[in-house]
Structure formats: structure tokens, C-alpha cells
Structure 1
Amino acid sequence: MRYLVWVLRLLVFVLVLLFALKNTGPVDIHFYSDYTVTGIPLIVVMLVTFVLGALFGLLLAVPALMRRRRETRKLQRDLRRLQDRYAHPAVQTQAVAPETVAPLSPL
């Protein structure tokens, strides 16, 4: 399964690379308030867009990853505590009432 995932990743990378190499013509980028940048290769625009999208996706995933990591640490700590409790049980001595050992005789 691991090899299949890597083959698919390689295939997607090659397809994106070929697509990017076919689109190297200059383009004009229009920003707000009539600010225009002219003559930028389309491959650069696609690369910048991809990097910004990946960073934005990672930024959105960070809180969930931190939450999972915190929950994992808590569960591991609980597991260690339970393993210690069952590996080394505490000797519990309860006070036994004298009547339980030797009942009182009637007078």
C-alpha cells in the first residue's frame, strides 16, 4: 500500500510538472486598486499559488494536530498510571472488627 501511494504521488508530481512546463508564457497579474504586474511567467504564478495554498492548509490543520497530540499525551499518561497501578498493587489493610474474627459470646 505504501508503494502505491508513492507511485501515485510521483505520477501527480510528473503531471503537474509537465502542465507547468507547458504554461510558461507571460501573464499580467491584476491586483486591487488598478495595480498590475506584467510579464510574469505563468509557471511562477502557479508555483506561488500552490505554495500559498499549502501554507494556508497547514495553518488550518495546526490546531487539530495540536489537539490530537495533547489528547495522545493525556491518554499515554493515563495508560502508564493504570499499568503502574496493576503492576504494583498497593497493599490494602482494612481494620477488621473484633466481632468478625471471634464473635462475642452471649452472657
Structure 2
Amino acid sequence: MKYLLWLLKAAIFFTLFAFALNNQQDATVHFFFGTTWTAPLVLVVLAAFVLGLIVGVLGMVPRWWKHRTAARDAQAAARAQQAQPAQAEVAPPQHQGRNCRQRRRFAFFSRHRTERRAWNLI
């Protein structure tokens, strides 16, 4: 498998190298206000690729920060919860007028609801 990946990487490299050799003619890029940039076509394609990467990363940075702060807050809440002494677990209230099956179902869902809340904090 390691050799297959190495072979695939080599094939991609040689394909891009052949592309660069076949596109050595100059390309002119016209910007606003009459400015132009004349460079080999490979450099123009590479510059467009790098500019696209930069724009994509800058577009994702706010969401990364949001998730990072949410994870940090969740870790702080988990540490604070672990630092508190263990409290006795409160049994769900017994509802009058329900049969045994309905009471068990209510206890099951209320217990899992609190567990889900705890998992969302992590």
C-alpha cells in the first residue's frame, strides 16, 4: 500500500511537471486601470490557485474561532462540573394516575434527556 501511494504521488508530480513544461508561453493578465502582468502561464495558474486557497481559508477562519471557543467553554464547564462534589441523583417525580409502564417510560426519557444535555456540554 505504501508503494502504491508513492507511485500515485509520483504520477501526480510528473503530470504537473509535464503541464508546466507544455505551458511555458507568456500569458498576460489585465487588471483594472490598465495595469497588466505578463508571466509564464504556469505562474499565472499557480498564483490563481494560491489566491483561491487564501480566500477559502479566510472564509473559514470565523467558523474555526467559533468552534474553538465553544470547545474551550465546554471543557471549562466539564472541569467545573468535575470539581464540584458529587450530588445525590434526584429520582424523577412519580406522577399520580399513570400506570407502571408509563412511569417507567417517563423515567427512561427524563434520564436520557439529562444525559444528552451533559453530552452536549462536552
Within a 5 Å distance, the mapping from 1:1-107 to structure 2 comes to 10=9, 14=13, 15-38=15-38, 40-85=39-84, 88-89=85-86
Higher percent of residues as helix: 2
Partner AA of 1:77 in structure 2: A
Q: CA deviation at 1:37?
A: 3.1
Quick one: structure 1 residues 24 and 84, their matched pair in 2 at CA, closer, same or farther if it must change by over 3 Å?
Answer: same
Structure 2 runs not aligned, ≥5 long: 88-122
Give the deviation of 1:61 after TM superposition. Answer: 0.7
**Contact 1:25-1:41 within 8 A present in 2 as well:** yes
1:83 CA drift (Å): 1.3
Give the Cα separation in 2 of the matches to 1:12 and 1:67: 39
* Matches of 1:10 and 1:17, distance apart in 2: 12
Structure whose alpha-carbon radius of gyration is higher: 1
Count of aligned pairs between the two proteins: 82
- TM superposition score normalised by structure 2: 0.54
Percentage identity across aligned positions?
30
The answer for unaligned runs of 5 or more in structure 1 is 91-107
- For 1:83, give the aligned amino acid: Q
Shift of 1:12: 8.9
Q: Which of the pair has the greater relative contact order for Cα pairs under 8 Å at 6+ separation?
A: 2
Please give the alpha-carbon distance, in whole angstroms, between the structure 2 residues aligned to 1:12 and 1:63.
36
Question: 1 CA distance for matches of 2:74 and 2:44?
Answer: 45
Superposition TM-score, scaled by structure 1 size: 0.60
For the 8 Å contact 1:26–1:41, the answer to whether it is kept is: yes
